[in-house]
Structure 1
Amino acid sequence: MNILITGKPGAGKTTLVKKISQELGNVAGGFYTEEIRSKGKRVGFKVNALDGTTAVLAHVEAKSDYRFSKYAVLKEGFERIALPALEKALSESKVIIIDEIGPMELFSDNFKTLILEIFDGSRVVIATIKHKCTPFIEDLKKRKDVKLFNLSKENFDSIHQDIMKLFNI
């Protein structure tokens, strides 16, 4: 079963997957991203594996050939954390958390290849995607084995309950 969670910025996608992964405990593996803030402003993003390892994904002051909006995307740091976390989850976890499959993460061809392998596998996948999609993400959304949830602040609790019911929790 592959679950995709979409929604506008600020809807709570990362909050939801973090909550679900905490409730599932040791059966979940993978990663989530979160903002880096300085003086109240977002200056970047970091990638956090569920095992606690972390790296900067993108930053306004970093240097990189990969750019998204005002951010330099640090593909190597992302791959150093996210790829091993996903490979470990694929072999050891019942549930794979991926937050997120977005334009910055998709600079990594290795990530795209691994995502397809994960979605084709037997593990339960809970992944977040941006509201605005790339062709790669559109293809994921069209898969017959994908259940899509459109998250908002108003339906956060009901979607959380719907997803947890899928696990009989």
Structure 2
Amino acid sequence: MPHNVVLTGRPGIGKTTVCLKVRNVLEEEGYTVGGIYCPEIREGGRRIGFEIVDLTEGDRYLLAREGASGPRVGRYGVFVDNLERAAESIERAVKRTDVVIVDEVGPMELKSNAFVDAVRRAADAHTPAIFVVHERSRHPVVVDLREERPDVVRFRVTLSNRDELSDRILEHVLEWLEER
């Protein structure tokens, strides 16, 4: 039976908003939600980087920033050490929370083998998990989640479905939680 949700969609379409709406409702229902999400960092209306937010602890640390050293993705240098911390956040969430969110599994995050391993373990665990994956990545872990795993319910976030999508995801997740 599926116990993972995978969201794809264009950048800026609302994937993170959908995840956070699901998180809020689950927490209102008394469930614990952990994992990470990676919002933009903006200065003067311009995106200059991304940070990692630990949903359980509330800790924030840099994922990538313009001009930073480290592996490059576009104009951003990636802080691989902080991705190791993100991997630990995911692992902790799998063990201690009712639902795991991993937003996003994309080119920056995939620079860390520890992060990739944590994503695989989260997908294999019995804890329901919601993954936001890069739409065009050919990385094996993304292809597995987006196209191949039989234990995944997949949604593509669009302008026309993003407002009701959180309700559809909640139906699946709540059903899985009740069956555990």
- Do Structure 1 and Structure 2 share a fold, with TM-score over 0.5? yes
**Equivalent position amino acid for 1:63 in 2:** S
Alignment of 1:58-73 (within 5 A): 58-64=64-70, 66-73=71-78
2:144 is aligned, of 129, 132, 139, to 139
1:158 is aligned, of 141, 144, 164, to 164
Alignment of 1:109-128 (within 5 A): 109-128=113-132
1:97 is aligned, of 88, 101, 105, to 101
Native 8 Å contact 1:55 1:78 kept in 2: no
**Equivalent position amino acid for 1:24 in 2:** L
1:134, CA displacement in angstroms? 2.3
Is residue 106 of structure 1 aligned with residue 110 of structure 2? yes
Native 8 Å contact 2:67 2:75 kept in 1: no
1:154, CA displacement in angstroms? 1.6
Q: What RMSD in Å do the two structures reach over aligned CA positions? A: 1.4
Identity of aligned residues (%): 34
Counterpart in 1 of 2:33? 28
1:132, CA displacement in angstroms? 1.5
Counterpart in 1 of 2:54? 49
Normalising by structure 2, we get a TM-score of 0.88
- How many residue pairs get matched? 167
Gaps of 5+ in 1: none
Segment of structure 1 superposing worse, 42-51 or 131-140: 131-140
**SS of the residue aligned with 2:58?**
coil
**Equivalent position amino acid for 2:110 in 1:** L
**SS of the residue aligned with 1:4?**
strand
Q: Distance in 1 between matches of 2:42 and 2:126?
A: 37
Normalising by structure 1, we get a TM-score of 0.93
1:84, CA displacement in angstroms? 2.3
Native 8 Å contact 1:103 1:134 kept in 2: no
Q: Deviations over 1:70-122 (max 9, x none)?
A: 10001112222x12211211111111000011110011101111111111110
Task: State the 4+ residue runs in structure 1 displaced beyond 2 angstroms.
Answer: none
1:45, CA displacement in angstroms? 0.3
